[in-house]
C-alpha cells in the first residue's frame, strides 16, 4: 500500500525578472510516496529547483496546492519544514565554520541539540569522522557534498530533499555520494533528488518525473519509461555518412548525429553494422569504435521533448 507523502496539485510558479515575468512551473501535479527515492530529471532551467523550493516553503506558488505528509506548506510552513531535511547548495557551506560546527548549527535551526560527540558520530556515518575540526571550505568537492548530506539529516528528517547532489563531482566521488543516498533511504527516509543526469536517475531512483520547461512530461519507473518508448537498441560509432544513405539500411528505425557520433536506432544491430561497414569501405573509410546499447532515459527525454538532456 503506497502512502503519499508529498503532493503537488496544479502548481504554477513564476519569477519577476525586471519587467519580465518568467514562468517556471505550469500546472504541475505530482504525488511522491513514502519510502521512495524519487527523481526530478530535466535540463537546466526546467524548473527542478523551483519545485523543491515550493515544497520547502521557500517560494510561494502563484497557483495550486502543496502538502507534506498532509500538511499544507502554504498555510503551515513551519510544521511542514520540521519533516524535511534540505541539502544546502555547495557554496553555502564555504563559511569559516568547521564540519562539526555546521552540523550542530543546522541541527539547532531545527531545535535539535547535538553534542560535539553526536556531531562527530553523524559525520562518521558520511565518512567524515576525521574532518570534524576542518573548515568546510578546505574539504574536497566530494567531501563537501557528503557534508551537505550530513547537514541535511542533522534534524533526523523523514524526508530528504537533494538539489543536484552530485553535479560537478568526479565519477568516484559521485558513486560515494550515491551510496550515502542509498543509506539514507535504507534508514526509511523518503528521498527526492533533482538531477540532469540520466545515469544518476537510473542508478538511484525508483520513480522519475521528467520535467521540461516547467511541465512534467512523464512520470514512472525508469524501466517503464524506457519500455513504453518501444525503442530499439542504439548503435553508435564515429563515422560521417549522409543520414539519407543510412536510413534505408536493414533494421534502421532512426538516425541522428550527436556531436561527432552517428547514432542509429536499429532492430538488427548486426545487419546494420555490416551494411555500415560496407558503405564505409565503398567510400574508402574505416569504422572506428562501435558501441551498441539498449535504449535509456536520454532517449525517452529526446522522444518526449525533441531535445537532448544536456
Ligand atoms: N530567482 C529567479 N529569478 C528569475 N528567474 C528565475 C529565478 N530562479 C529561476 N528562474 C527561472 O525559472 C526557470 C526555472 O528555473 P529552475 O527552477 O532554477 O530550474 P532548474 O533547477 O531545473 O535548473 C528558469 O527559466 C530560470 O531562469
Ligand atoms: Mg536547479
In a domain, residue 53? The reply is: no
25 lines ligand 1 (CB under 6 A): no
In a domain, residue 87? The reply is: no
In a domain, residue 258? The reply is: yes
3-state secondary structure of 302: helix
pTM: 0.90
By residue range, what is the domain housing residue 257? Answer: 232-294
For residue range 5-32, list pLDDT tens digits in order. 999 999 999 999 999 999 999 999 999 9
Distance between Cα 115 and ligand 1 center (Å) = 38
In a domain, residue 142? The reply is: no
Position 88 confidence tier, pLDDT thresholds 50, 70, 90: low
Distance between Cα 48 and ligand 2 center (Å) = 5
In a domain, residue 275? The reply is: yes
In a domain, residue 251? The reply is: yes
Average pLDDT, the chain: 93
241: pLDDT strictly greater than 80 = yes
46 lines ligand 1 (CB under 6 A): yes
For residue range 99-148, list pLDDT tens digits in order. 998 888 888 888 888 999 999 999 999 999 999 999 998 999 899 999 99
Name the phi and psi angles at 200, rounded to 5. -65, -45
Give 206's contacts (C-beta < 8 A, 6+ positions apart): 36, 37, 38, 221
Distance between Cα 89 and ligand 2 center (Å) = 10
Position 278 confidence tier, pLDDT thresholds 50, 70, 90: very high
Position 199 confidence tier, pLDDT thresholds 50, 70, 90: very high
In a domain, residue 91? The reply is: no
Mutation probe of ligand 1 site: the residue of 49, 209, 212, 214 with most atoms within 8 A of C-beta:
49
Position 93 confidence tier, pLDDT thresholds 50, 70, 90: low
Position 267 confidence tier, pLDDT thresholds 50, 70, 90: very high
Mutation probe of ligand 1 site: the residue of 16, 19, 23, 24 with most atoms within 8 A of C-beta:
24
- The Cα 45–Cα 54 span in angstroms is 16
For residue range 24-79, list pLDDT tens digits in order. 999 999 999 999 999 999 999 999 999 999 999 989 999 999 999 999 999 999 99
CATH number where 290 lies:
3.30.70
Number of domains in the chain: 1
91: pLDDT strictly greater than 60 = no
Distance between Cα 91 and ligand 2 center (Å) = 14
- The Cα 222–Cα 176 span in angstroms is 22
Mutation probe of ligand 1 site: the residue of 18, 22, 211 with most atoms within 8 A of C-beta:
22
Position 259 confidence tier, pLDDT thresholds 50, 70, 90: confident
Cα 178-307-297 angle, rounded to 5 deg: 35
Amino acid at each position: 500500500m503506497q502512502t503519499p507523502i508529498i503532493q503537488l496539485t496544479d502548481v504554477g510558479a513564476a519569477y519577476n525578472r525586471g519587467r519580465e515575468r518568467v514562468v517556471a512551473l505550469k500546472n504541475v501535479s505530482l504525488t511522491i510516496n513514502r519510502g521512495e527515492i524519487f527523481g526530478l530529471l530535466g535540463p537546466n532551467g526546467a524548473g527542478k529547483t523551483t519545485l523543491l523550493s515550493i515544497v520547502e516553503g521557500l517560494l510561494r506558488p502563484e497557483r495550486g496546492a502543496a502538502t507534506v505528509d498532509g500538511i499544507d506548506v502554504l498555510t503551515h510552513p513551519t510544521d511542514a519544514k520540521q519533516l524535511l531535511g534540505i541539502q544546502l547548495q555547495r557554496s553555502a557551506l564555504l563559511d569559516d565554520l568547521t564540519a562539526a560546527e555546521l552540523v550542530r548549527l543546522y541541527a539547532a535551526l531545527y531545535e535539535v541539540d547535538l553534542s560535539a560527540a553526536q556531531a562527530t558520530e553523524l559525520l562518521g556515518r558520511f565518512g567524515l569522522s576525521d574532518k570534524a575540526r576542518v573548515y568546510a571550505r578546505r574539504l574536497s568537492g566530494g567531501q563537501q557534498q557528503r557534508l551537505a548530506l550530513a547537514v541535511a539529516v542533522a534534524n533526523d528528517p523523514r524526508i530528504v530533499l537533494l538539489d543536484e547532489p552530485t553535479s560537478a563531482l568526479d565519477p568516484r566521488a559521485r558513486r560515494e555520494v550515491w551510496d550515502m543516498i542509498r543509506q539514507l533511504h535504507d534508514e526509511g527516509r523518503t528521498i527526492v533528488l533533482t538531477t540532469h543526469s540520466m545515469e544518476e536517475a537510473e542508478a538511484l531512483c525508483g520513480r522519475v518525473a521528467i520535467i521540461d520547461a516547467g511541465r512534467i512530461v512523464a512520470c514512472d519507473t525508469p524501466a517503464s519509461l524506457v519500455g513504453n518508448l518501444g525503442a530499439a537498441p542504439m548503435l553508435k560509432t564515429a563515422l560521417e555518412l549522409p543520414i539519407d544513405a543510412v536510413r534505408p539500411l536493414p533494421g534502421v528505425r532512426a538516425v541522428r548525429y550527436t556531436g561527432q557520433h552517428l547514432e542509429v536506432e536499429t532492430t538488427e544491430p548486426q545487419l546494420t553494422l555490416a551494411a555500415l561497414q560496407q558503405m564505409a569501405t565503398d567510400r574508402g573509410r574505416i569504422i572506428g569504435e562501435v558501441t551498441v546499447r539498449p535504449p535509456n532515459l536520454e532517449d525517452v527525454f529526446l522522444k518526449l521533448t525533441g531535445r537532448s538532456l544536456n
